[in-house]
Amino acid sequence: MRPVEPSIIEQRSRHPLGDRSASYEPQPFVEVDRLSLYYGEKPAFQDVTLSINKGYITALVGPSGCGKTSFLTCLNRLTDLIAGCRVSGRIMIDTRDVLASDIDVIQLRRRIGMIFQKPNPFPLTIRRNLEFPLREQGLRDREQIAEIIEATLRDVGLWDEVKDRLNSPALALSGGQQQRLCIARALALLPEVLLLDEPCSALDPLSSGVVEDLIVSLRDRYTVLIVTHNLVQARRIADYAALFWIKNGAGRLIEAGPAKQIFEEPRDPLTAAYVSGMRG
Amino acid sequence: MAETLSRPQDHREWFAFVLVWGAAALVTAVFCWLLGDIIWHGLSHVSWTFLTTSPENAGRRGGIGPILVSTSLILGVCLAVSLPIGIGTAVLLAEFTSDQSLFGRMTRRSLDVLAGVPSIVFGLFGNAFFCKALGLGFSILSGGLTLACMVLPILIRSTEEGFRAVPASYRLSAAALGLSRSTTLVHLLLPAAVPGLLVGLVLGIGRAIAETAALIFTSGYVDRMPQSLLDSGRALSIHIFDLSMNVAGGDANAYASALVLVVLLLAINGAASWLATYGLHRKIMTV
C-alpha cells in the first residue's frame, strides 16, 4: 500500500490554522446570543450567550440535565428532527446565521461534525461507513475517496488496525475503534467545527484514553466543542470551559472563560463549588 | 427434581409443566395430522404430468397446469400493486407522521379494522368495484387487485413496525453527517426495515395464496389456461374447494392440489426467512 502524506487533510482544508504561530490571537468562530431551547413548554436551557474561539477546545461541563447536549444539537440544527422543539436566539458560525430559515441545513451539517455518546457507525462495512457520506457529498472519484479514507483513518490512528479488513462490518470493531471510526467519518467531510457529546463516557478507560489523545490532536485544525462529565478530562484537554447549571428548572450558563481561570480561579461561587467537587 | 417434587408447590409446577407442554404438543399434533393426511392421500397423485397438464372431466382427471399459472398471475398482480403502495404508506406513517397526529391515528385505525374484515366482504367489494364499476369483469386482474386490498393492511403495519424498530441513532447520525432524508431512507432505513417487510410479505402472501372467498366473486373459476390478465382464471384454493364440494369423485385430485398449495406456502416461508438471514443481510453489508 502506497504511503499517504499525512498532510492530505490539511491540503484539502480551507482553514488557515495549520501554521498557527505562537502569537496567534484567539478569534471567535461560533457566536451564540441569548439562545434558549424549549421541548414543548419545558425549557431545556435559557439565555445562553457564549463565544467559542477558532481552533481551540472548549469544554461544556455541568451536572446532568442542564442542557449541554441540547445546546450542541442547536449548533447543527439536529433540533429540527425533534418534534415539539423550539429554539430562539441567534447563532453565528463564521458568517452563517445557523437559525435562519433559508439556510441549507444539509450543507451546514457537513461543515459541523458531531460525535455522539454511544458510537454509532452504520451497519455497513468500515469502508462504506466512510465512503457513503463522501459520495453523498458529490465525490465520485474512487481513487480520491480511497485516499481520503486512508488519510482520515490514519488521522484517528485506526489505519494500521483496520487496513486489512476495510470490507468487514464496522459493528465488529471494539467500542473505542467504533468511536474513532465515527470521528474519522466526521473528519472526512472536512468540518470546521466538531461537536463531541461525551465521546468517551461509553468507552473503557483504555479506549477512552486513546480517543482523548485523538481529540487533543485535533486542536488547531478544528474548532472543538466537547460536552463532558469528566472534570479531570476537561481540565486535561480544554483551552476554554463553560459551566452549565440548572436554575429555576432550566439550564443556564453560569460562567465561561479560559480553562485555567474556570478551574483554578473561578469567579462564580457555584463554579468554585463544582470544580472543587463540592457540588454537582 | 425427584425430591423437590414432593412439596405441594412443586405439584403445581408439575401441573403447569404438563399444561404448557401439552398445549404445544396438541398444536403440533394437529399440524402433523393435517399434513400427514394431505400427504397420505395426495402424494401418489402428484407428478410432473399433474403439475403441467390441464384438468379434464371437471378436474377429476388431468392436472393443474392452468390453475398454477392463474394462481401465480393473481399473486403477481397482488404483489405488484401492494408492495409499492404498502412500502410507501409504511414510510409515510413511520418516518413522516408523528404518532399523535390525527392523520396517523386515523390511518392506523382504519388499517387495523381493514385487517380484520372477513375475506368474503373483500370479495363482494372487489366484485362491485373492480368487476362492475371499473368494468374489469371476472378476471385475474380483478382478483389480484382485490387480494391487494386484503393484503395491504398486514403489509403496511408490519413494514411500519420494521421502520420503527430501526434505532433513532441511525437517523440522528445520518442527519449529523449531512445526509439527505431520502438518502437516509433508501440506503439506511429501508435495508434495516427489511425484516419487518419480509414478515408482512410472508403473512400477506400466505393470506393471498390461500384465499378462496375473495376470489370466487372476482377472478372466477374458469379452469382454462388464461390468455391475458383480463381472462378469468381459477386459483388453486378455489380448485380445491370446487373439487371437494361440487365434483363427486374429485377428492384424489383435491388432495393432490392441497399438497401442492401447502408445499408452495412452506417454500415461500422458507425463502423469505432465508432471504432475511443471509441474502439481503449480506447485500446490505457490502453494497
What's the pLDDT tens digit per position in A153-190? 998 989 999 999 999 999 999 999 999 999 999 999 99
For residue B223, give how far its alpha carbon lies from the nearest alpha carbon of chain A (Å). Answer: 49
* A117: closest chain B residue by CA: B169
- pLDDT for B5: 52
Report helix, strand and coil shares of chain B as percent, to nearest 5. Answer: 75, 0, 20
Return the closest-CA partner of residue A124 out of A175, A190, A168.
A168
Q: Does residue B250 sit in helix, strand or coil?
A: coil
* B173: closest chain A residue by CA: A120
What b/e sequence results for B52-65 when a residue is b if at least 16 CB atoms lie within 10 Å of its CB, and e otherwise? eeebeebbbebbbb
Give residue limits of the domains in chain B.
Answer: 9-42, 49-279
Highest CATH level, class, for A27-275: alpha beta
**Residue B169: how many other CB atoms lie within 10 Å:** 14
CB contact under 8 A, A113 and B176: yes
Return the closest-CA partner of residue A59 out of A267, A270, A258.
A258
Q: Does residue B287 sit in helix, strand or coil?
A: coil
Residues of B in contact with A82 (CB under 8 A): none
| CB contact set of B47 (below 8 Å; sequence gap of 6+) | none
- pLDDT for A239: 94
CB B260 within 8 A of CB B272: no
Question: B80 exposed, middle or buried (CB, 10 Å; 0-12, 13-18, 19+)?
Answer: exposed
Q: How many CA atoms lie within 13 A of A167 on its CB side?
A: 4
According to DSSP, the residues that pair with B184 across neighbouring strands are none
CB B83 within 8 A of CB B255: no
Give me the numbers of helices (H) and strands (E) for chain B, helices first please.
13, 2
Question: CA-CA distance, B77 to B142, in Å (whole number)?
Answer: 9
Rounded mean pLDDT of chain B? 88
- pLDDT for A184: 94
Confidence of residue B6 (pLDDT cuts 50, 70, 90): low
Confidence of residue A83 (pLDDT cuts 50, 70, 90): confident
Interface test with A, best of B166, B170, B177 (most A CBs within 10 A): B177
| pLDDT exceeds cutoff 70 at B79 | yes
| Nearest neighbour of A120 by CB, restricted to B169, B183, B285 | B169
| CB contact set of B37 (below 8 Å; sequence gap of 6+) | none
Q: Please tell me what DSSP assigns to residue B45.
A: G
| Nearest neighbour of B173 by CB, restricted to A110, A120, A169 | A120
Instruction: Tell me what the mean pLDDT of segment A65-86 comes to.
Output: 90
How distant, in Å, are the alpha carbons of A10, A103, A198 from that of A6?
8, 33, 27
Question: CA-CA distance, A193 to A188, in Å (whole number)?
Answer: 13
pLDDT tens digits, one per residue of B143-168:
999 999 999 999 999 999 989 888 88
Residue with cell 368494468: B135
Query: Would the CA dihedral through B204, B210, B216, B221 be positive or negative?
Result: positive
Confidence of residue A280 (pLDDT cuts 50, 70, 90): low
Q: Which three cell numbers stand for residue B232?
A: 378469468
| CB contact set of A218 (below 8 Å; sequence gap of 6+) | A57, A187, A194, A224
3-state secondary structure chain A: CCCCCCCHHHHHCCCCCCCCCCCCCCCEEEEEEEEEEEECCEEEEEEEEEEEECCCEEEEECCCCCCHHHHHHHHCCHHHHCCCEEEEEEEEECCEECCCCCCCHHHHHHHEEEECCCCCCCCCEHHHHHHHHHHHCCCCCHHHHHHHHHHHHHHCCCHHHHCCCCCCEHHHCCHHHHHHHHHHHHHCCCCCEEEEECCCCCCCHHHHHHHHHHHHHHCCCCEEEEECCCHHHHHHHCCEEEEEEEECCEEEEEEEEEHHHHHHCCCCHHHHHHHCCCCC
| pLDDT exceeds cutoff 50 at B216 | yes
Return the closest-CA partner of residue A68 out of A256, A272, A242.
A242
Strands laid side by side in the A85-93 sheet: A96-97, A85-93, A28-39, A42-53, A250-258, A240-247, A57-61, A223-227, A193-197, A112-115
| pLDDT exceeds cutoff 70 at A5 | no
Q: Which three cell numbers stand for residue B133?
A: 364499476
**CATH superfamily of this structure's domain B49-279:** MetI-like (1.10.3720.10)
**Residue B102: how many other CB atoms lie within 10 Å:** 8
Residues of A in contact with B172 (CB under 8 A): 78, 81, 116, 120
- pLDDT for B100: 80
- pLDDT for A17: 43
Pairing mode, strands A57-61 and A240-247: parallel
Enumerate chain A positions whose Cβ falls within 8 A of a Cβ in B: 76, 78, 81, 83, 106-110, 113-114, 116, 118, 120, 122-125, 128, 132-133, 136-137, 167, 169, 182, 185-186, 189
| pLDDT exceeds cutoff 70 at A9 | no
Is pTM beyond 0.90? Reply is no
Instruction: Tell me what the mean pLDDT of segment A266-271 comes to.
Output: 90
CB A125 within 8 A of CB A170: yes
- pLDDT for B286: 41
Instruction: Tell me what the mean pLDDT of segment B66-94 comes to.
Output: 94
| CB contact set of B79 (below 8 Å; sequence gap of 6+) | B148, B205
Helix (H) or strand (E) holding B194: helix B190-209
Instruction: Tell me what the mean pLDDT of segment B176-183 comes to.
Output: 91
| Nearest neighbour of A107 by CB, restricted to B171, B178, B188 | B178
